[in-house]
Structure 1
Amino acid sequence: MTATVPDTTIREIEPDDFDTIIDLNQNALEGVGPLDEQKLAHLVDQADQALVLDDGGDIAGFVITLPPGADYESSRYEWFEKRFEEYVYLDRIVVAETHRRQGVASQLYDEIETETPVALEVYDTNDVSLAFHRSRGYEPVGELDHAGKTNLMLVKES
Structure 2
Amino acid sequence: MDRVHLWALLVVGVALLFFSLRTPPIKDKILVFLLKAYFSTFFGIIVVEAKLLEYPVRFLGPYFKASILFEYFLYPIVCVYFYQTSYHSRLPGIIIQCALYAAALTAVEVLYEKYTDLIEYHRWTWMHSFVTIFVLSFSVRMLMKLIHKREQAAR
TM-score, length basis structure 2: 0.31
Higher RCO structure (Cα 8 Å, ≥6 apart):
2
More strand by share: 1
TM-score, length basis structure 1: 0.30
More helix by share: 2
